[in-house]
Amino acid sequence: MADNVFTIPTGFSVLIMRLHQINQLDYPASLETTWQNSLQAGDQVLLIEDGFLKSIQYAEKMQTLIKEKEITLYYLQSDAAAYGLSPTFGIALTDEEWVELTFAAEANISW
C-alpha cells in the first residue's frame, strides 16, 4: 500500500484515490444514495458550488459519512467566502490546490 502514497505539490500526502466532486445541495433521492454508496475507504469528496452547503445544512450526516466510509472531505475556500460561511469540519482548498488534487486522483467523478 505504501507504493500508492505520494505527496502532491501542496504537501498533501494522499493515497491513490477517487475524487468525488459534489456540486449540488440536493440530488434526487436515488442519486444521493448512489453517490454515497459508491464511496470507498480512501476516497475524497470535494464539495463545490451549491454542494458546499451540505457542510452546513447536512453537517451531522456528512460527518457520519466521513467516519463510516473513511473518506476525506474538502471544500473550496472561495465557495465558503462567497456564502460567508465557515464549516466546522473538512479541509479548505484554494483553487490551485483543487486543481492539484484533481490531477492527483486516479479517477474524478462529478455528481
Q: Average pLDDT, stretch 68-73?
A: 96
CA neighbor of 73 nearest in space, from 87, 1, 7: 87
pLDDT of 17 reads 83
Rounded distance, CA 16 to CA 105, Å? 6
Let me know if residue 53 belongs to a domain.
Answer: yes
Domain count, the chain: 1
Let me know if residue 51 belongs to a domain.
Answer: yes
Let me know if residue 73 belongs to a domain.
Answer: yes
Let me know if residue 9 belongs to a domain.
Answer: no
pLDDT above 60 (res 12)? no
pLDDT of 87 reads 95
Query: What residue numbers bound the domain in which 24 lies?
Result: 17-110
pLDDT above 90 (res 83)? yes
pLDDT of 107 reads 93
Which residues have CB under 8 Å from 42's CB, separation 6+? 15, 17, 70, 71
Q: What is the pTM of this model?
A: 0.83
Let me know if residue 49 belongs to a domain.
Answer: yes
CATH number for the domain spanning 70: value is 3.40.1260.10
pLDDT above 50 (res 4)? no
Let me know if residue 60 belongs to a domain.
Answer: yes
